[in-house]
Structure 1
Amino acid sequence: MGRKYNRSSEADIILEILARIPVSNRYVSADEIVRSLSEAGIEISLRSTQRYLKQMADSGKYGIIRDTRDSAYGYRRERTCSQFDSINLRPNECLLLRLAQEHMRYQMPGAVLKSLDFLFDAAEKELNEKGRNAKERNWLKKVCVVSSSISQIPPKILPRIFDSVSEALYEEKMLRVEYTNNEGKTTKAAVAPLGLVQQDSRLYLICRFEHFDNEVHLALHRFKRAEVTDFPAVRPKDFDLQGYVNDRHFNFSNGAWIHWILEFESDQTARNLTETPFNTSQILEKGEDGIWHLEVDIQDSMLLDGWVAMWKEKAGIRRSDKQPIEGDVPEIIGLSRPR
């Protein structure tokens, strides 16, 4: 349950609100501050927040600038001599926050990320301070993630779309959407959101259309509209997100499992596959003729074919046989995707 404040803790309220007003040119609304406080477990009404914001701006103590050009006022802060201008983050904390912001951008509900905006802003400002924290700032230039696939520019996902989708998923509410598929056909419907899956540069919503009993995945960048409704989304009791990913069309798979037999010459490839096996069913042995023999139960996919084509010459691949597995999907611990 969120913390509820009374008049005896007004100082705490002011500090919590102040922490969520950026010292920058970016304005935040009272609604955004209330949502951020709520996500942090702090319950305060919009009307009370607006009252505190007016008092704080009128006092002139905190450097608060109020944008009155719109009916929904925006607030930001200018740098003052006040100790309240700084959250006092250490350089290593700033570094972690900046890395987390980049890598968790589509891994957390939009509302949760927005509740941390004041921390992200503080971290960025601290790292960008002239002449300070050079080692920490430069560290961001020394860390990189390399994809095993060909790099592509991520498709544009409208922030309001991601915020609505993540909110509906988080709150377990139905979404009213307008979606254009790969063939250009536009559909308006209500969907029950079940999960988000990021595959390389694309983000997909796993959902069920209203009045249907099967799951589908829709690319977020193809959404034209997404509105959270007040109606609860019924989550199927037997739905498992990881199972859906394994059994459907992600990783360019048709969902079929195979017993894969691979024979190759390269000791280096054998070392790599020993260090990072496909999954726990993998068996790798070297024959008396010096040829390596690998067997593993794995999903058949275009990525698997691509792996064979890419390493055929360098690994000295002599044989690649796929034997269909009949019946239930094998229970395997570990990732079942080609590297």
Structure 2
Amino acid sequence: MPKRTNSVDTTFFSLELLRRIPGNQRITAHELHQQLLDAGIERNVRTIQRQLERLSQHFDLECDDRSRPYGWRWRVGSRGLSLAQLSPAESLLMQMAQAQLKHLLPAHLMASFSPFFSQAGHTLSHSGQAQREREWSQKVRVVAASQPLLPPVIQEGVFDAVSEALYHNRWLNIDYSNAHGTRRQAEVMPLGLAQQGSRLYLVCRFKGYDNERSLALNRITSAVCSTFHFSRPADFNLKRYDDDGRFGFGEGRSIRIYFTLETARAQLLLESPLSADQQVSELEDGRLHFSATVIDSPMLDGFLATFGSTISNIKRETNNVSTEQENNDE
């Protein structure tokens, strides 16, 4: 039985090595070692080197030993590991996942998948059976719900350090400038990462505090993942943090909002309600009166403002205390 287990492990290890060797560039044993570690496969560099030498006797692998560190690649004209080739459908899925998840997966995991992303791109570009899949990327698109903005520049190494600390539950040392340009250095506990439009936010707790803050990654000028671990707070939940309107700059205060909307602009809220308990009634003049339970926040204010002069009689109710907002009724 131990012999069989070792044989299976060696076969699996060999397949993982072969799948990670690129066809158009060289990769070193140290780079393969890091990719395997990121994928949860622990082998030392010397073991990887020995296995590559063995595999080169049976597969079209070549070692570029002109300079150190030596690099491995498939020989020119080789089809690579044909039994592990992605189908056109799998390649399409991988390509779309790469585009949508590049900032939502830890950097080291994205790096470990890079050979598969490369293989997917090659399959879609060169396979005669992938015409429909190639066309699909031109037929679908994620569109902006508001004015599109170019993503802000994130300093090199910041995302890698943030995602590593978040993945391993380690303290993060940052140099950060707020919106007013005030700069500070701090040690933070990373709790979540959120993408809002073109911007990325780190949800964290500053050391010595038990409340959460959202920091824009583009305002972090440097970040270093420490070697010290922390226990993730049991009372924190990223979904609840979002549901409480924190990314809309709210404080989690739930209110009942009431307003009147001209019929021509009401279709949006009839199709996509503000909340599950939204209620709508028609007034004598044909306008529609809405009420819904929502989180009070500047984002809500901005949304209501998009209706311009077609919205009126805006009223907020919290704990049986109502506040009326100036409206556009004449």
TM-score of the aligned structures, taking structure 1 as reference length:
0.81
1:22 aligns with 2:22: yes
Q: Could you say if the C-alpha distance between residues 70 and 222 of structure 1 is closer, same or farther in structure 2, counting changes exceeding 3 Å?
A: farther
Partner of 1:233: 230
Q: Give secondary structure in 2 for the equivalent of 1:22.
A: coil
The whole-number CA distance in structure 2 between the counterparts of 1:66 and 1:223 is 40
Q: Which amino acid aligns with 1:18?
A: L
CA RMSD of aligned residues (A): 2.9
Give 1:286-297 correspondences, 5 Å limit. Answer: 286-297=282-293
**Aligned counterpart, 1:323:** 316
Following TM superposition, by how much is the alpha carbon of 1:256 offset from its aligned partner in structure 2, in angstroms? 3.8
Distance 1:56 1:50 in 2: 10
Amino acid at match of 1:136: E
**Deviation digits for residues 22-64 of structure 1, max 9, x if unmatched?**
2233x5443443343344443323331233335556x594334
Q: Which moved more, 1:115-124 or 1:219-228?
A: 219-228
Identity over aligned pairs, percent? 35
Residues 256 and 299 of structure 1 are in contact (CA less than 8 Å); yes or no, is this contact kept in structure 2?
yes
Measured in 2, the distance between the counterparts of 1:137 and 1:37 equals: 30
- Does the Cα contact within 8 Å between 2:189 and 2:206 map onto a contact in 1? yes
- Look up the match of 1:141: 138
CA distance in 2, matches of 1:55, 1:222: 49
- Per the alignment, residue 283 of structure 1 pairs with 279
Size of the aligned set, in residue pairs, is 317
Amino acid across the alignment from 2:60: Y
Q: CA deviation at 1:269?
A: 4.1
User: What is the deviation of 1:309?
Assistant: 3.0
Q: Tell me which of 192, 200, 205 is aligned to 1:203.
A: 200
Unmatched tracts of structure 1, length 5 or more: 328-339
Deviation of 1:186 after TM superposition, in Å, equals 3.2
User: Offset of 1:83 from its aligned partner?
Assistant: 5.3
Specify the code of the residue in structure 1 equivalent to 2:292: V
In 1, are the aligned partners of 2:245 and 2:297 still within 8 Å (CA)?
no
List runs of 5+ in structure 2 lacking aligned partners. 321-330
Distance 1:174 1:279 in 2: 37
| Larger displacement relative to structure 2 (123-132 or 95-104) | 123-132
Write out aligned runs for 1:118-267 (5 A). Answer: 118-129=115-126, 133-158=130-155, 160-247=157-244, 249-253=246-250, 255-266=252-263
8 Å Cα contact 1:68-1:74 kept in structure 2: no
2:177–2:183: 8 Å Cα contact kept in structure 1?
yes
Aligned residue number for residue 62 of structure 1: 60
Q: Which amino acid aligns with 2:24?
A: S
Check conservation: 1:5, 1:44, Cα contact below 8 A.
no
Could you tell me the TM-score, scaled by structure 2's length? 0.83
